[in-house]
Chains A and B, each alone.
Chain A
Amino acid sequence: MSTPARRRLMRDFKKLQEDPPSGVSGAPTDNNIMLWHAIIFGPHDTPFEDGTFKLTIEFSEEYPNKPPTVRFLSKMFHPNVYADGGICLDILQNRWSPTYDVSAILTSIQSLLSDPNPNSPANSMAAQLYKENRREYEKRVKACVEQSWAD
């Protein structure tokens, strides 16, 4: 049952354990290495600070030649996150490279929280508030941070 994608994911997991990046963590689910659970801690000095945001990462047998599907389980308010938790991030779509691994994916999403790109919005309300009413944007994000502790 071992395939190149599964063996690559075993290596990703080993690297994540031996050399854990700060502020993110992830592990395969108990009986399926193709489905991972991950947590991204909200970066310091951003409205996301103190949040513990849960995600799922779903890989196909074509990994690492094709990117996985990454989705927030926690409710998010962010210009580049869709209502269903899907993420609009170039490296997970057209700028994917087979040299990326789970660690690189999670740290890229973490930096997207610090630096939203309001010009390609997945949530137009969040993008608009981010550009025009930063105080209201931060208030809505803080509500997600508090909700992230509960779920």
Chain B
Amino acid sequence: MAASGATNDEMMDIGGAELDNNKNEKMFTLKKWNAVAMWSWDVECDTCAICRVQVMDACLRCQGDGNRQAGGKQPECVVVWGECNHSFHHCCMSQWTQQNKRCPLCQKEWSIQRMGK
């Protein structure tokens, strides 16, 4: 989320720089198109490809019965990012890595880059 915000800021800067050379009208059209493209890309990456739930929400396993207290979110149900930059629920990924140590999306060897919210 933070990363996409930064990218948008950069684009605004580029827009500002080019504003000096170009007419106002054209710049506005270009800026809007970029912002829309960014947004849809961001949403796609935020869904866990294993259980199909947003990585910021509790995974499908933790949403189950018996885990309803505290909004169904277990403390250990965090997001995990691999060196390949793919992200999943830690719960979903730890089930999968028991049988296969590769990223299910790009087949690269799975090693954890970071974990968190």
Contact = CB atoms under 8 A, between A and B. Distances in A.
A8 B104 contact: no
Interface residues of B, number: 17
Interface of B: 49-52, 60-61, 63-65, 92, 95-96, 98-99, 104-105, 107
A8 B52 CA distance: 8
Interface residues of A, number: 13
B49 A7 contact: no
Interface of chain A: mostly helix, strand, loop or mixed: loop
Nearest to B99: A65
B104 A2 contact: no
A51 to B, nearest CB: 31
Interface of A: 2-4, 7-8, 11, 15, 64-65, 97-99, 101
Given A3-B64, A4-B60, A97 B51 contact: no
Contact of B104 (A4, A11, A98): A98
Given A2-B65, A8-B52, A65 B95 contact: yes
Nearest to B52: A11
A99 B105 CA distance: 7
Contact of A7 (B60, B92, B98, B105): B60
